[in-house]
Structure formats: C-alpha cells, structure tokens
Amino acid sequence: MICHRCHSAMQMSLERYQYRESGLENVFIDRCIIHTCEKCNIRMAVLPDSETAAREILRTLVLQKRRLDGQSILFLRKVMRLKAVELASVLRVDRVSVSRWENNQVAIDAINDFRLRMAAVDRVIARPAQREEADVLKMLICLIMQDHYESSKDVGNEELTISSPLQESGALINSSETVGT
Ligand SMILES: [Zn+2]
C-alpha cells in the first residue's frame, strides 16, 4: 500500500489490534494487518466489515463464562437490531431493567443472561445454512451457564480476541487510520 500523504511504500505488519470501532473496549483482533508509514507517522488497520465482525464478536461473547456487562448487553441488543423496549419484551422484563443493565446500575441475573445469549444466537445466526452452528452454540451456552458461569465477574474486564476474517478472504473491506502513536 502507498501512503496517501507522501506516496512512499507503507510497511505491512500483523499485530494485535484493539478494535474500539466495535463499540466494545475489550475486543482485540488477532493478527490484524497494519500498514505503517514511519515518515508520516500514519498507521492503517485493515478491518473486517462491521457486520461480519459483529457476528464474530457475538460468537465469542455468548461463550464467555463471565456475566455479561452493560457494554456487552448493549452490543448484543444492537446486533439483534432491537430497541431496549423490544429486548425487554423478548426477555419478558420491563424496559427499565434493560436500561439499568446497560448502564451497569444493576447486574443482569443468570436467567436473563442465559435468555439473552440464546436470543442473540437465534436472531443473528439465523440463516438456514447456519442452523447447525446455532444449535452447537446454544448447546455450549447451556453447558457454560450450568457448570461454569461466573456471576461475580463481568465480561467487560476480560480481553476478547477475534481472528481477522480478512486473512481468509483476502479482501480489504474497511480501514481505520490513526495518526501518531
Ligand atoms: Zn507517508
């Protein structure tokens, strides 16, 4: 890649990238492609398209042992394309509960954490070809919630890593530029 400022060749590297563009502070892309111009101090990360990334984060998030935190609940709701009131109705709770969870005022209880994860899989991993994947995910969620759930720790304090789907497809879909370090 050529630097758009000085037109010299940029250096390419694979790095762990904090994927703040996802809306979550604790998500990292493993071996993300980074183009760097040392002269201009510009770094460009090659990012997956946001929908692919969102599904990948969802897959990672629903299999965490720790309790979903506000940021994660909001993230899943947005991936499901639901308003707070709609999510409340899916979970059969009131709207106020949803906003209290999302604002980290109240910790989500295990039952609703479980229901939310299941609903997220049902609604997002929903194409007929994804049926088997959705079934496996839901089975794993059941196992995790039964035997490994950690209600006292929240998932926001743990780093989540997704792999870069770009390395398989080879497509440059989206990029994020950072000036300075
Ligand atoms: Zn440059």
**Under a CB-based contact definition with an 8 Å cutoff, are residues 47 and 173 in contact?**
yes
pLDDT at 40: 92
* Overall domain count for the chain: 2
Residue whose structure tokens are 């990012």: 47
Number of H helices, E strands in the chain: 7, 7
Question: What's the 175 CA to ligand 1 centre distance in angstroms?
Answer: 16
Structural domain that includes position 151: 65-157
Rounded CA separation 55/120 (Å): 10
CB neighbour list of residue 94: distance below 8 Å, 6 or more residues apart: 88
Q: Would the pLDDT of 92 be above 50?
A: yes
Question: What's the 61 CA to ligand 1 centre distance in angstroms?
Answer: 37
Domain membership flag for residue 121: yes
Q: Would the pLDDT of 145 be above 60?
A: yes
Residues 26 and 77 in one domain: no
Question: What's the 48 CA to ligand 1 centre distance in angstroms?
Answer: 23
Domain membership flag for residue 181: no
Residues 167 and 140 in one domain: no
Question: Following CA atoms 71, 29, 80, 66 in sequence, which dihedral angle do they give, to the nearest 10 degrees?
Answer: -50
Question: What's the 42 CA to ligand 1 centre distance in angstroms?
Answer: 7
In total, the chain counts a number of residues equal to 181
What is the pTM assigned to this prediction? 0.86
Question: What's the 93 CA to ligand 1 centre distance in angstroms?
Answer: 53
Q: What is the CATH number of the domain that holds 71?
A: 1.10.260.40
Residues 109 and 153 in one domain: yes
